Structure 1
Amino acid sequence: MKCDKKDLLLYAVTDRSWLGEDTLYHQVEEAILGGATFIQLREKELSQEAFLEEAKEIKELCRKYQIPFVINDNVEIAREMDADGVHVGQSDMEAGNVREVLGPDKIIGVSAQTVEQAVLAEQRGADYLGVGAVFPTGSKADAEDVPLETLKAICQAVSIPVIAIGGISTGNILKLAGSGICGIAVISAIFAKPDIRAAAAELRSLAEKMVQA
């Protein structure tokens, strides 16, 4: 499965912080029904075994709706359960090494914060870039801010799709119009909301406006 920029319009990154009595499977399905176009499974706390089981379930769900499904950071799990791909940070693994492990047909996303990192990731085989944090965010303590000018410069410097991540909400998404990105990645703007499906639907409609502006 290759990465189409249309698939990156509303990229939902999971987080079990707000599960309460709910299941991750149900929350992800609600996000998809609301309009999420891409799912990244992000788990920092689960054991490898529990992560693998959960990944298999979410993969089947995404397959049902024909939505790309990638694993955050964990290249081994992505390979073992045959995810559509993986998203890695700068410190996790070079895109070229990930490609060797996963093979030519998998989607590889790489986080970037500078033009140099972005160009290098593209050269090494990344399919798309996640750039941020574009706004202040609570989900990553070490996320540096990426100014709008840098985001634009990255979009101009590479030919692969770029999505923005970090602190994006319905209140600020339209500030990203004209930057050259093809979509947004969000965590709390969907999964922290009481009505996940409605939150995803509103963001989807704003993301469509933003990329066309």
Structure 2
Amino acid sequence: MKCDKQTMRLYAVTDRAWVGRQTLYEQVEAALQGGVTCVQLREKQLDADAFLAEARDIRDLCRRYGVPFIINDNLDIAVACGADGVHVGQDDMPVEEVRRRVGDAMIVGVSAHNVEEALRAQAGGADYLGAGAVFGTSTKNNVTPLSFDTLRDICRAVDIPVVAIGGIGAKNIPLLRGSGVDGVAVVSAIFSAPDITAACRELRALSDRMTGTEK
């Protein structure tokens, strides 16, 4: 499964901080029911065995909905569970090495914060870019917000899909109109919502409207 612009429309990034009333699996399924177009599993606390077991379960869930399943940062887990792709940051394994190890079959996403990083990622074999943080974010510390102009310049500089990430929610998605992004990656506005499915329906509609793809 390869990615395209549609894959980026509403990209859900998991956060275990919101697990409680529902399991992570249940939260992801609720998001899929609400119309997310890609799921990234981000785990920083689980040991390898627990991470792999969870990844396999959520991989199967995403396949039932026909939605790409991406692992954050951990190439070994991505390969072992048969994920559709892996996402790496600037401080993780170089994209060229990731591409060499996975070949052409797996989606490779890369975080980019400026045009130089974006062009380097594309040249190294990235299938899409995560550009941000476009707004303030509570999920990562010491992150400098990306200006609208830089976001627009990144989108203009590359030929691959670009998803905006960082502090994105229903109130600020319209502010991204005209930037050229293909969609939004959302963490807390999905997984902290009392009704995840309803939240995703709203976010998806806003993203479709922002990108000019609403039906």
Q: Is the TM value for this pair above 0.5?
A: yes
Query: What is the CA deviation profile of residues 61-99 of structure 1, one whole-angstrom value per residue up to 9, with x for unaligned ones?
Result: 000001000100000110111100100000101111001
Contact 1:11–1:39 (CA<8 Å) still a contact in 2? Answer: yes
Contact 1:52–1:81 (CA<8 Å) still a contact in 2? Answer: yes
Contact 1:12–1:185 (CA<8 Å) still a contact in 2? Answer: yes
The letter for the 1-side match of 2:129 is L
1:130 maps to 130
SS in 2 for 1:201: helix
The letter for the 1-side match of 2:161 is P
| Count of residues in correspondence between the two structures | 213
Contact 1:79–1:101 (CA<8 Å) still a contact in 2? Answer: no
CA distance in 2, matches of 1:139, 1:59: 23
CA distance in 2, matches of 1:58, 1:48: 15
1:96 maps to 96
SS in 2 for 1:170: coil
Mapping 1:52-131, distance limit 5 Å: 52-131=52-131
1:31 maps to 31
* TM-score calculated relative to the size of structure 2: 0.97
* TM-score calculated relative to the size of structure 1: 0.98
1:181 maps to 181
CA distance in 1, matches of 2:117, 2:142: 17
Runs in 1 of length 4+ with deviation above 4 angstroms? none
**1:196 Cα deviation from its structure 2 partner:** 0.4
User: For the aligned residues, what is the CA RMSD?
Assistant: 0.9
CA distance in 2, matches of 1:100, 1:50: 27
CA distance in 1, matches of 2:175, 2:21: 35
Percentage identity across paired residues of the two chains: 56
The letter for the 2-side match of 1:184 is V
CA distance in 2, matches of 1:202, 1:173: 11
